[in-house]
A = this chain, B = another copy of it.
Amino acid sequence: MLLQLSFPAIPDRLRLVRPMVRASAQLCGFTVEDSLDVVLAIDEACANIIEHAYHWRGDAEIVLTIFKIEGGIQFQLRDFAPPVSSRSVQPRNLDDIMPGGLGTHFIRSIMDDTRFMRAPDGEGNILELTKRAMVPS
């Protein structure tokens, strides 16, 4: 484990999370560009928890755990909200020009694996996001 972070589900905290995610991605060997992509993906996933899992209840908690894995990085993002069905989490059709519905699209475009799980120890959801560094060929 690289580190674990817990913070209240309040939008201004994301400004504190991003630089740490960026430094973590760089520590795991990602380029600056890829690290900025990873920052976007994690930021969007946190924003979705604030908006859709907790409905802006700022007293709720988010726990982000970051792992260095063979050739990449893995994030586990945990909330303590009611169960989310992964089918309800869907990007919109990008051909419709409309605000909203981009977050999950960004996450899936950037990360190699996206996995929703129930927290094994009781309430809450775990979103596991994995990215592997491009191996220069």
Decide: A24 near B16, CB < 8 A? Known: A1-B8, A3-B6, A5-B5: yes
A1-44 residues at the B interface, CB under 8 angstroms: 1-8, 12-13, 15-20, 22-24, 27
A17: which B residues are within 8 A, CB to CB?
Answer: 3, 20
Task: Give the residue name and chain of the B residue nearest to A63 (CB).
Answer: B4
Main secondary structure, interface of A, reads helix
A1: which B residues are within 8 A, CB to CB?
Answer: 7-8
A19: which B residues are within 8 A, CB to CB?
Answer: 19-20, 22-23
Within the complex, which residue of B6, B18, B20 is in contact with A16, where a contact is CB–CB below 8 Å? B20
A residues with a Cβ closer than 8 A to B are 1-8, 12-13, 15-20, 22-24, 27
Q: A4-B5, A19-B22 are in contact. List 13 more A-B contacts (CB 8 A).
A: A1-B7, A2-B13, A3-B8, A3-B16, A12-B27, A15-B27, A16-B24, A16-B27, A17-B20, A19-B19, A19-B20, A19-B23, A20-B20
